Amino acid sequence: MRMLKNIILPVLVVLLVDPLLFAQNATHDLILNPGYFNNNNQVQYLKVNTKAKIDGKFKPVAGIPVSFYISADAPANLLGKAVSDRNGEAVLFIPPAAKDAWNRSSKQSFFVVSAATGLYKSTSSDLDITKSKIKIDTIAGKKIIATLQELRDSVWVPVKGADIKVAIKRLNADLNVNETPAYTTDSLGTVAADFQRDSLPGDARGNITLIAKVEDNDAYGNITAELTVPWGVPGIYASDFNRRTLFARRGLAPVWLEITSFSIFFVVWIVLLYLIVQIWKLKKLGTQAAE
């Protein structure tokens, strides 16, 4: 009996509990999707989308530490580290220290590695890009010309057969300049788009921003170029702040409301004051009657 209590039972408990512990420690596969971005010739950055299959669906994973490398997956080539946010995105701007590595070749490789966490295994991915740039310009007749070039042996050469979107930059999303959303570059690496949004509101001077962009390209990543042109309608902001409205601030009620409400208020309170005067009269009459 003592043997059962001291040895067999604890062993049984360990055997039963152990699989549960293992089950809790089971790790999932993580997918890293790196992308390269160069917006309007500003500082380039890398963005990694992390996702994993949870309950049969791919969902973004937050809190994954990701290391970014240039040229090779080695500590000496580390660009930096970032942690994925609630959308599963980890972003790293390419630091100036990486200038030499960046200039070494017209093609560049990036490596991203995620460290193992309690729930996810360590995983890695890589990205190869060819250095490229977009030029955007306009010609007479409100025509937009965009040219895509890639760096080949230190020379910028036109790219043929790539898709370029030409649009107008708005607050939350881009608006096509006409009904065609994307164009394919010719042998000169050029696309031409007609501007057909004549009455588009611009800033106070009528300026709008044109944008040409290559998106999710296997060779070039995501690159954009912008150009400001005075093709919009000047947007004159008419402030309602000092106008008399129902939604205005204190002291700016509509005149009709002020007249109506003050009239009612004064009529009623004049009646009440009249009645208070009557009390005083009653007092006076009472005093006279007493005398």
Partner 1 sequence: MENLAKNEIIKDLLPRKFNATGKLWIGVLLSLCVVGLIAYTRQLSKGLVVTSMRDYVSWGIYISNFVFFVAISLVGSLITAILRLTDVHWSTPLTRIAEIIAVSAITFAAIIIVVDMGRPDRFYNLFFHGRLQSPIIWDVIVITTYFFISILLLYFPLLPDCMLLLKNEKKLGKRPNKLYKFLGSFWRNTPAQIKINECAINILVITIIPVAFSIHTVTSWLFATTYRPGWDSTNFGAYFVSGAFLVGAGGVLMAMYAFRKSYKLEKYITELHFDKMGKIVVMLALVYLYFNINEFLVPAFKMKKPDQEHLMGLFAGDFAPLFWFAIITSMFLPVLILVFKKGRKPLPAFIAGCLVVIGSWIKRYVIVTPTLLHPFLPMRDVPPSYRHYFPSWEEWAIAMGSLAGMMLIITVFARLFPIIPIQETITEIEQHENA
**What is the chain written as a DSSP string?**
-HHIIIIIHHHHHHHHHHHHHHHHH--B--EEEEEEEEETTS--EEEEEEEEEETTEEEE--S-EEEEEESSSSGGGEEEEEE--TTSEEEEEPPGGGHHHHHT-SEEEEEEEEPP-SSB--EEEEEEEE-EEEEEEEETTTEEEEEEEEEETTEEEE--S-EEEEEEE-SSSEEESSS--EEE--TTSEEEEE---TT-B-STT--EEEEEEEEEETTTEEEEEEEEES-SB-------TTS--TTS-TT---HHHHHHHHHHHHHHHHHHHHHHHHHHHHHHHHHHHH-
The pair of three-digit structure tokens given for residue 203, joined into one six-digit string: 């800033």
Taking the complex as a whole, the smallest distance from the CB of residue 248 to partner 1 amounts, in Å, to 7
**In terms of CB distance, is 2 or 249 closer to partner 1?**
249
Region for 221 from its dihedrals, namely left if φ exceeds 0, alpha if ψ lies in -120 to 50, beta otherwise: left
**In terms of CB distance, is 76 or 289 closer to partner 1?**
289
For tokens 């800033």, name the residue: 203
**In terms of CB distance, is 22 or 256 closer to partner 1?**
256
**In terms of CB distance, is 57 or 250 closer to partner 1?**
250
Taking the complex as a whole, the smallest distance from the CB of residue 127 to partner 1 amounts, in Å, to 34
**In terms of CB distance, is 154 or 288 closer to partner 1?**
288
Taking the complex as a whole, the smallest distance from the CB of residue 260 to partner 1 amounts, in Å, to 10
**In terms of CB distance, is 205 or 283 closer to partner 1?**
283
Which residues contact partner 1 (rule: CB under 8 A)? Answer: 246-250, 253-254, 257-258, 261, 265, 268-269, 271-272, 274-276, 278-279, 281-283, 285-287, 289-290
**In terms of CB distance, is 22 or 274 closer to partner 1?**
274
Q: List Cβ neighbours of 198 (8 Å cut-off, separation of 6 or more).
A: 231
Taking the complex as a whole, the smallest distance from the CB of residue 284 to partner 1 amounts, in Å, to 8
What is the Cα 97 distance to its own chain's centre? 27
**In terms of CB distance, is 116 or 282 closer to partner 1?**
282
